[in-house]
Structure 1
Amino acid sequence: MTKSFFYRHRHLFGASILCIALLVAALFAYREAQAPALPPSDDAAAAMLAELHQSTAPWTVHRRDLSTLVGDMRNGRIASAALSDEAVYVTTQDDQRYWLADQSGRIGEMILRDYGRGAVLFPVSLFDTDGEAPWYSELQRQWLLLSLLLIGAGLLVWKMRPHQALKHNTGIRFADVVGASEAKLALQDVTTYLRNPAAFAALGARPPKGVLLTGEPGTGKTQLAKALAGECGAHFIQVTGSDFSSMYFGVGIHKVKTLFRTARKHAPCIVFIDEIDGIGRRGEQSRSSDAEANRIINQFLTEMDGFAADSGVLVLAATNFPNSLDPALLREGRFDRNIAVGLPGLAEREQLFRLYAGKIKAADDLDHTQLARNSVGLTPAAIAYIVNHAALLAARENSTQVTMRHCVDALETCRIGEQPSGTSALSEAERTRIAVHEAGHAIVAAALGCGRVEKVTILPRGQALGVTLVTPIEDKRLHLESELRARIQMLLAGRGAERLHFAEVSSGAGQDLHEASKLALSMVATLGMAPSGSLLSLQAVRDAHLESDPREALNEADQLLQELDRECLALLQRLRPALQSITQRLLDEETVAGEEVVKAVRRLLGERMGEAAPARTCHLERVAASPSNGLDPYFDLAVDELPETGPGMA
Structure 2
Amino acid sequence: MVNNNRKKDGSKFDDNKFKYIIYYAIAVTIVVFLINDYLVNTETEQIKYTDFLNMITQNQIKEVHFSKDRIVIYPKENTSYNNKVLYTGRFEEDKELPDKLNKANIPYDQVIPKQDGPFKNFMLNWVLPFIIFMALGRFLFGRLDKKMGSGVMSFGKNTAKIYAENETGVTFKDVAGQEEAKESLVEIIDFLHNTQKYSEIGAKLPKGALLVGPPGTGKTLLAKAVAGEAKVPFFSLSGSSFVEMFVGMGAARVRDLFEQAQEKAPCIIFIDEIDAIGKSRDGNITGNDEREQTLNQLLSEMDGFDSSKGVVILAATNRPEVLDKALLRPGRFDRRVIVDRPDLKGREEILKVHAKGVKLAKDVDLLDISKSTPGAVGADLANIINEAALRAVKNNRKEVIQEDLQEAVEVIIAGKEKKDRILSPKEKRSVAFHEVGHALVAALLTHTDPVHKITIVPRTMGALGYTMQVPDEEKYLVTKEEMFDQICVMLGGRAAEEVEFNTMSTGASNDIEKATETARNMVTIYGMTEKFDMMGLESMSNRYLDGRPVKNCSAETEAQIDEETLKIIKEGHKKAIDVLSKNRDLLTKVAERLLEKETIMGDEFMSLVKGEEASITGDNVENNENNESDDNLNNDTKLLE
Q: TM-score range by the shorter chain?
A: 0.7 to 0.9
Report the alpha carbon displacement of residue 135 of structure 1 after superposing the two structures with TM.
Answer: 5.3
Contact 1:218/1:382 (<8 A) preserved: yes
Report the alpha carbon displacement of residue 293 of structure 1 after superposing the two structures with TM.
Answer: 2.1
Report the alpha carbon displacement of residue 394 of structure 1 after superposing the two structures with TM.
Answer: 1.9
Report the alpha carbon displacement of residue 456 of structure 1 after superposing the two structures with TM.
Answer: 0.6
Which residue does the alignment assign to 1:621?
637
Residues 393/249 of structure 1: CA separation in 2 closer, same or farther (3 Å cut): same
Which residue does the alignment assign to 1:461?
459
- Identify which range, 345-354 or 222-231, moves more after superposition: 345-354
One-letter amino acid matched to 1:303 = E
Which residue does the alignment assign to 1:404?
402
One-letter amino acid matched to 1:616 = S
- Identify which range, 454-463 or 370-379, moves more after superposition: 370-379
Contact 1:461/1:467 (<8 A) preserved: no
Report the alpha carbon displacement of residue 536 of structure 1 after superposing the two structures with TM.
Answer: 0.9
Report the alpha carbon displacement of residue 272 of structure 1 after superposing the two structures with TM.
Answer: 1.1
**Aligned pairs (5 A) from 1:202-281:** 202-279=200-277, 280-281=279-280
Contact 2:269/2:314 (<8 A) preserved: yes
Whole-angstrom distance in 2 between the partners of 1:311 and 1:498: 70
1:486 aligns with 2:485: yes
Whole-angstrom distance in 1 between the partners of 2:248 and 2:220: 29
Aligned length: 555
Contact 2:275/2:322 (<8 A) preserved: yes
Whole-angstrom distance in 1 between the partners of 2:94 and 2:323: 79
Which residue does the alignment assign to 2:325?
327
Deviations 1:67-87 (A, max 9, x none): 69968xxxxxx9995689996
Percent identity of the aligned residues?
32
**Aligned pairs (5 A) from 1:184-199:** 184-199=182-197
Contact 1:86/1:104 (<8 A) preserved: no
Whole-angstrom distance in 1 between the partners of 2:410 and 2:245: 44
One-letter amino acid matched to 1:591 = T
Report the alpha carbon displacement of residue 453 of structure 1 after superposing the two structures with TM.
Answer: 1.6
Query: Out of 595, 598, 606, which is 2:618 matched to?
Result: 606
Which residue does the alignment assign to 2:111?
125
Q: CA RMSD in A?
A: 4.3
Which residue does the alignment assign to 1:433?
430
Query: Out of 136, 156, 161, which is 1:165 matched to?
Result: 161
Contact 2:73/2:85 (<8 A) preserved: no
One-letter amino acid matched to 2:365 = D
Deviations 1:215-237 (A, max 9, x none): 22222221111111122222211
Residues 618/546 of structure 1: CA separation in 2 closer, same or farther (3 Å cut): closer
Whole-angstrom distance in 1 between the partners of 2:319 and 2:573: 34
Report the alpha carbon displacement of residue 326 of structure 1 after superposing the two structures with TM.
Answer: 2.8
Whole-angstrom distance in 2 between the partners of 1:592 and 1:215: 37
Residues 429/128 of structure 1: CA separation in 2 closer, same or farther (3 Å cut): farther
Whole-angstrom distance in 1 between the partners of 2:414 and 2:550: 36
- Identify which range, 310-319 or 152-161, moves more after superposition: 152-161
Which residue does the alignment assign to 2:440?
443
Residues 86/594 of structure 1: CA separation in 2 closer, same or farther (3 Å cut): farther
Which residue does the alignment assign to 2:77?
none
Which has the higher Rg, Structure 1 or Structure 2?
1
Report the alpha carbon displacement of residue 214 of structure 1 after superposing the two structures with TM.
Answer: 1.9
One-letter amino acid matched to 1:377 = G
Whole-angstrom distance in 2 between the partners of 1:358 and 1:142: 56
Contact 2:433/2:497 (<8 A) preserved: yes
One-letter amino acid matched to 1:569 = I
Query: Out of 573, 579, 588, which is 2:581 matched to?
Result: 573
Report the alpha carbon displacement of residue 460 of structure 1 after superposing the two structures with TM.
Answer: 0.4
Residues 275/146 of structure 1: CA separation in 2 closer, same or farther (3 Å cut): closer
SS at match of 1:529: coil
Which residue does the alignment assign to 2:92?
114
Report the alpha carbon displacement of residue 127 of structure 1 after superposing the two structures with TM.
Answer: 5.9
Residues 590/134 of structure 1: CA separation in 2 closer, same or farther (3 Å cut): farther
Contact 1:201/1:309 (<8 A) preserved: no
Report the alpha carbon displacement of residue 545 of structure 1 after superposing the two structures with TM.
Answer: 7.6
Whole-angstrom distance in 2 between the partners of 1:501 and 1:429: 13
Deviations 1:287-331 (A, max 9, x none): 58x832222222222222223241322221122232333333223
Whole-angstrom distance in 1 between the partners of 2:54 and 2:122: 36
Report the alpha carbon displacement of residue 455 of structure 1 after superposing the two structures with TM.
Answer: 0.9
Which residue does the alignment assign to 1:535?
534
One-letter amino acid matched to 1:194 = L
Residues 131/585 of structure 1: CA separation in 2 closer, same or farther (3 Å cut): farther
SS at match of 2:440: helix
Contact 2:64/2:72 (<8 A) preserved: no
Contact 1:443/1:598 (<8 A) preserved: no
Whole-angstrom distance in 2 between the partners of 1:237 and 1:321: 22
Which residue does the alignment assign to 1:200?
198
Deviations 1:118-177 (A, max 9, x none): x99998334689999955555667997788668859953426333311122223221232
One-letter amino acid matched to 1:366 = V
Whole-angstrom distance in 2 between the partners of 1:176 and 1:447: 43
SS at match of 1:536: coil
Provide the TM-score with structure 2 as the length reference. 0.75
SS at match of 2:152: helix
Residues 523/300 of structure 1: CA separation in 2 closer, same or farther (3 Å cut): farther
SS at match of 1:550: helix
Whole-angstrom distance in 1 between the partners of 2:550 and 2:371: 39
Which residue does the alignment assign to 1:179?
177
SS at match of 1:310: helix
- Identify which range, 264-273 or 455-464, moves more after superposition: 264-273
**Aligned pairs (5 A) from 1:302-341:** 302-341=300-339
One-letter amino acid matched to 1:583 = A
Contact 1:451/1:473 (<8 A) preserved: yes
Contact 2:511/2:640 (<8 A) preserved: no
Report the alpha carbon displacement of residue 583 of structure 1 after superposing the two structures with TM.
Answer: 1.3
Report the alpha carbon displacement of residue 204 of structure 1 after superposing the two structures with TM.
Answer: 3.5
Provide the TM-score with structure 1 as the length reference. 0.74
Which residue does the alignment assign to 1:507?
506
Which residue does the alignment assign to 2:545?
none
Contact 2:268/2:314 (<8 A) preserved: yes
Whole-angstrom distance in 1 between the partners of 2:65 and 2:496: 111
One-letter amino acid matched to 1:308 = D
Query: Out of 447, 450, 472, which is 1:452 matched to?
Result: 450
SS at match of 2:111: strand
Contact 2:177/2:343 (<8 A) preserved: yes
Deviations 1:407-452 (A, max 9, x none): 22212212221112422x2222211221111111112223335323
Contact 1:83/1:127 (<8 A) preserved: no
One-letter amino acid matched to 2:205 = P
One-letter amino acid matched to 1:615 = E
Residues 488/113 of structure 1: CA separation in 2 closer, same or farther (3 Å cut): farther
Query: Out of 547, 550, 554, which is 2:558 matched to?
Result: 550
One-letter amino acid matched to 1:529 = M
Contact 2:360/2:399 (<8 A) preserved: yes
Residues 530/294 of structure 1: CA separation in 2 closer, same or farther (3 Å cut): farther
Deviations 1:268-289 (A, max 9, x none): 121111222222343644558x
Whole-angstrom distance in 1 between the partners of 2:536 and 2:156: 46
